[in-house]
Amino acid sequence: MRILTLILCTVVLIATGLPLINSAEWWIRIFDFPRIQIAVLTLLALILAYIYVDFKWAYKLPLLIVLAVSLVYQIQFVVVYTPLYNTQAKDSNKQSEENSLTLLVANVQMENEDKERFHALVKKYNPDILLINEPDQKWAASIEKLDGDYSNSIKYPLENTYGMMLLSKFPLTESAVNFLVKDDVPSIFTKITLPSGSVIDFYGVHPEPPKPGTDTYERDTELLIIGKKIRETNNPSIVAGDLNDVGWSSTSKLFRKYSELVDPREGRGLFNTYSVFVPLLRYPLDHIFYSKEFGLLTLEKLEDIGSDHYPIYIGLNYEPDEDNTEGLEKTDAEEEAEVEGKIEEGKKGGAKN
């Protein structure tokens, strides 16, 4: 048991230390995801080390202290998403039919054949706006039955799991399918006109995840390019989609600080959307971030639709004269320089592909 305990201690300390390296290498950034799982294993390692490691206290005590510090370090990432933390995105008490919207974000999983479960979900919640990640041509054909309810749409199905569709009951203008980093990974930009006549910017995204052979600079660059545009325009904005990143990662936090968007999960819950099939390895990968002009009406993780992702649903009220944020962090000069550097580095890397 002593040997197994020491192996566990080594593993959790490596898993804790690697993400401290400022690198886009997938085998480093992958450890941004399982913070809760690593924290649980670190707690187990701490208990087992106290019981089974028979070092002299001059050596055992430093090990226990390092494990305890590692445990606290891991917990501080996710405690933000519990009721112990203040909500950065305020609730709205001014719901207005003319200025409110509901948005459903669903990664349908391209291989998912159970399309009727998705349609039943859309019928049940009847969102004003529907963002669909991973549709291929088969999904596009099935989604055509929604055209009667959603008269405005942007459709870009693909066979590589990066297709994207946006359906809206509200008018869409200046719409574009963009390829910000790679020519086979699209994102969507459009302006949405609410019933009141107010216009908001919407960005739909689905960057590549960190995986063997694919580093994170492409995902990071795409988010930061969008963040830069939001910062420059200073328009009321919503960014939504399968970001293939967790809200507590350094890139996600940098993106939100730079663009001054909020994460409604903070202080409310994790709302883990992936993976449906592996309950012990679930992370919040599908996100909806938005600017200070929006007040939160509702936020829900919805039921299983046969995909490996749960859909997520949000209701927002547009309040142009209000600041619906609290404790909103902003980037300093060093972080702004970091954003510019990451964008340039990412563009160079994307050009090589």
| Residue 320 belongs to domain with CATH number | 3.60.10.10
Cβ atoms 259, 222 nearer than 8 A? no
CA dist., res. 294 & res. 315, Å (int)? 10
Residue 50 shares a structural domain with residue 189? no
Residue 112 shares a structural domain with residue 60? no
- pLDDT above 80 for 125: yes
Helix/strand/coil percent split, the chain, to 5: 40, 20, 40
Q: Omega of the bond prior to 259 within 30 degrees of 0, cis? A: no
Q: What is the pLDDT of residue 95?
A: 80
- pLDDT above 80 for 349: no
CA dist., res. 345 & res. 353, Å (int)? 13
Residue 113 shares a structural domain with residue 158? yes
pLDDT tens-digit series, residues 320-329: 999 999 988 8
Nearest residue to 314 via CA among 304, 301, 328: 301
Residue 279 shares a structural domain with residue 216? yes
pLDDT tens-digit series, residues 194-251: 999 999 999 999 998 877 766 676 778 899 999 999 999 999 999 999 999 999 998 8
Cβ atoms 217, 345 nearer than 8 A? yes
Residue 69 shares a structural domain with residue 154? no
Comparison of pLDDT for 22 and 70, the residue scoring more? 70
Q: What is the DSSP letter of 37?
A: H
**Mean per-residue pLDDT, 278-283:** 93
Buried b (16+ CB within 10 A) or exposed e, 314-335: bbbbbbeeeebbeebeebeeee
pLDDT tens-digit series, residues 50-68: 999 888 888 889 999 999 9
Residue 214 shares a structural domain with residue 73? no
Residue 107 shares a structural domain with residue 186? yes
- pLDDT above 70 for 136: yes
Range of the domain at 250: 100-347
Q: What is the pLDDT of residue 123?
A: 97
Does 44 reside within a domain?
Answer: yes
Does 117 reside within a domain?
Answer: yes
First-to-last alpha carbon distance for the chain, in angstroms, is 48
When computed from its CA atoms, the radius of gyration of the chain, rounded to whole angstroms, is 21
Single pTM value for the model: 0.93
Cβ atoms 292, 91 nearer than 8 A? no
Residue 21 shares a structural domain with residue 145? no
Residue 312 shares a structural domain with residue 274? yes
Q: Please state, rounded to an integer, the average pLDDT across all residues of the chain.
A: 93
Q: What is the pLDDT of residue 350?
A: 52
173 alpha carbon, distance to own chain's centre: 25
Residue 171 shares a structural domain with residue 297? yes
